[in-house]
Amino acid sequence: MTPLLELDAVTQAYPLPRDRLFGPRRSLTVLDGVDFAVGEGEAVGLVGESGAGKTTMTRAMLGMETPRGGAVRFDGRDLREMGPDERRAFRRAVQVVMQNPRSSLDPRMSVGRSLLEPLRALGVAEDHAARVREVIGQVGLTESALARYPHEFSGGQLQRIAIARALAPRPRVLIADEPVSALDVSIQAQVLNLLKDLVDELGLSMVLIAHDLAVVAYSTSRVSVIAGGRIVEQGAPRDLFVHPEAEATRNLVDAVLTMEDGLAGRGLAAGAAATPPVTSHQARRGR
């Protein structure tokens, strides 16, 4: 299968400030030979601790920054070789939901305008107002939301709005970069369910990013683990839980189990709907 969106041996580094005025120019390597791909209609996960390089991968996949080394390809085409028309089609085809909906939505714009704006900017050839009404319904909100402003909504509702905005231009790939990390635990599962249902229904490809293995295990078929800018392990979520090989993966599995024990101890285990109970219990038995 040809990957739809692919990072091929991608390396990224950022310049560090010089120690001395005429000292050597040093840089911080943030991605180091990263291979990562999502196929048509596939949902893949990316997990790693904070600072591992996940958002840097997101920016590379969106074409927001050009890596120092390696290639980013969409539909087999290197982003650097795309002409303006192809580039515009790419920008439309790959959409993102970021971690914090309060900073990703303009507080001075009504929700309706926030959803219309990208359709106009991307030159989407369909009735924009009708499309906006359609997507706001798809994320479980009513049309009355369109005339309101971000401060009138809860974090979970805002993340639904951000999902609607990402879906409006009819992308082929949705990148969700820690979409529930900033939300109350009690509503994380709702938002994850919504994302999963939508990508299933629409046949989208999804890259779901989290620092919590349980969050991605639930709705993806293949997960890559990143640590220190390198992909250290890849596999089916179930296998990663049962036989984690890399140290970083073992730490992520331990974090999930500790979390589950903590919730169970407080009688809240049923609320941890985002965790895949069968898989993690098997993992625990095997330890």
Ligand X SMILES: Nc1ncnc2c1ncn2[C@@H]1O[C@H](COP(=O)(O)OP(=O)(O)O)[C@@H](O)[C@H]1O
Q: Which is nearer to Mg ion, 96 or 168 (CB)?
A: 96
Q: Does 190 participate in binding Mg ion (rule CB under 5 A)?
A: no
- Tell me how long the chain is: 287
**13/176 Cα distance (integer angstroms):** 23
DSSP one-letter code for 144: G
Tokens found for residue 210: 């989290």
- Report the partner that residue 264 touches, choosing among ligand X, Mg ion, none (CB closer than 5 to 8 A by kind): none
From the CB of 56, what's the least distance to ligand X, in Å? 3
Q: Which is nearer to ligand X, 56 or 205 (CB)?
A: 56
**133/168 Cα distance (integer angstroms):** 10
Tally of CB atoms within 10 A around 282: 14
**102/155 Cα distance (integer angstroms):** 7
Instruction: From residue 260, give the alpha-carbon distance in Å to each of 86, 268, 270.
Output: 46, 9, 10
Q: Which residues bind ligand X (CB under 6 A)?
A: 14, 28, 30, 48, 50-56
The single-letter code of the amino acid at 63 is G
Q: Which is nearer to ligand X, 51 or 137 (CB)?
A: 51
Q: Does 181 participate in binding Mg ion (rule CB under 5 A)?
A: no
Question: Which listed residue (35, 39, 41, 55) binds Mg ion by CB under 5 A?
Answer: 55
**245/154 Cα distance (integer angstroms):** 39
From the CB of 28, what's the least distance to Mg ion, in Å? 16
From the CB of 178, what's the least distance to ligand X, in Å? 7
- Sign of the CA dihedral with 79 first, then 84, 90, and 95 last: positive
End-to-end CA distance of the chain: 36
- Report the partner that residue 7 touches, choosing among ligand X, Mg ion, none (CB closer than 5 to 8 A by kind): none
From the CB of 160, what's the least distance to Mg ion, in Å? 21
From the CB of 207, what's the least distance to Mg ion, in Å? 13
Q: Which is nearer to Mg ion, 211 or 281 (CB)?
A: 211
Q: Which is nearer to ligand X, 51 or 262 (CB)?
A: 51
User: Under rule CB under 5 A, which residues in 71-90 are in contact with Mg ion?
Assistant: none
- Which residues of the chain form contacts with Mg ion (CB under 5 A)? 54-55
